[in-house]
Amino acid sequence: MEKQKDTFPTIPLYETVKQRLLADYGSLSYYTPFPSEREICERYEVSRPTVRTALSLLEAEGWLKRLPRKGAFFLGNRPHVDHQLASAAGFYNDVRLQGRTTTSKVLFQNVEQAGAETAKMLGIEEGEQVFRLERLRYLDGEVYSLANSYLPLVYLPLLIREDFTSCSLYDTLSAQGVIPYEGRQQVTFRPASAYEAMHLEMKAGEPLSVLASRMYTAKEQLIEYAVVKSPAYKTSYEMVVYREGAGAQQGKG
């Protein structure tokens, strides 16, 4: 009697194409245009029906969004959800709460004279000395934002010798009894300068999100004026909005 040979299921060609597409294009930034059906056919030497099936699978799994007459867009590598508009926890702690990691490269950590905008935000005279901390922040090992923090000179002894490559500015202040409590923030968008583009690994003129904020203690003591810049496509801001008077009503027994 002839011995029956073992048989193994054959992987469909469209599944192979799908896996190759993820391997070759999985590092694309969020909402980057995906190659056209024609380009994929030519690259992998397969038929258009096979490509269409592979793309349909990718869309069903949440990797792509296809729009009529506009093509497909990659939905992997979603932007970091920044909760700083709704929380005073700070970037470092917000990232950790989301199960991600962050480190910083310190570009400047010293005293300088306040420019007009910094002086206005800190409520001091232009030319007065302030402590400035400039950091290039990394999220899960990739460049994420360029952050400048300006603080009144009274905080200099607490910060001048601190290693901020892997620690939080707000945690450092809190440990000394200066606890961030309330932030007043504004988000704008503008083209990136050559300096910003160089550090953020983008092209000059590409869209940049700019988060400007002032942080206060519970006693209305101004702690910091900060300006954080990041490529617009890398960040999604989340905020919480309450109906006026709702908080007071909820607090009643």
Which tens digits make up the pLDDT trace of 202-243? 999 999 999 999 999 999 999 999 999 999 887 777 766 666
Please determine, for residue 141, whether its predicted confidence score (pLDDT) is greater than 70.
Answer: yes
User: Half-sphere exposure of residue 7, counting CA atoms within 13 Å on the CB side?
Assistant: 4
Burial of 52 (0-12, 13-18, 19+ CB in 10 A): middle
Q: Give the tens place of pLDDT for each residue, 175-186.
A: 889 999 888 999
Sign of CA dihedral 142, 146, 152, 154: positive
Euclidean distance between CA atoms 242 and 136, whole angstroms: 34
Residue 8 φ then ψ, to 5°: -125, 140
DSSP state of 161: T
Going through the chain in order, the beta strands assigned E by DSSP cover 64-67, 71-74, 80-82, 102-113, 129-139, 142-152, 182-191, 207-216, 222-231, 235-237
Given pLDDT bands bounded at 50, 70 and 90, which one contains residue 81?
low
Report the predicted TM-score, pTM, of the whole model to 2 decimal places: 0.66
Confidence (pLDDT) at 9: 57
Q: Token pair of 89, please?
A: 């926890």
Euclidean distance between CA atoms 59 and 43, whole angstroms: 20
Burial of 142 (0-12, 13-18, 19+ CB in 10 A): exposed
H-only helix segments in 188-251: 194-200, 246-250
Euclidean distance between CA atoms 96 and 144, whole angstroms: 15
Please determine, for residue 11, whether its predicted confidence score (pLDDT) is greater than 50.
Answer: yes
Contact between 224 and 209 under an 8 Å Cβ cutoff? The reply is no
Q: What is the per-residue burial (b if ≥16 Cβ within 10 Å, else e) of 7-24?
A: eeeeeebbeebbeebeee
Q: Token pair of 26, please?
A: 């999985």
Mean pLDDT over 83-98 rounds to 67
- The segment with the largest mean pLDDT, out of 7-16, 57-66, 105-114, 237-246, is 105-114
Higher pLDDT among residues 58 and 86, named by residue: 58
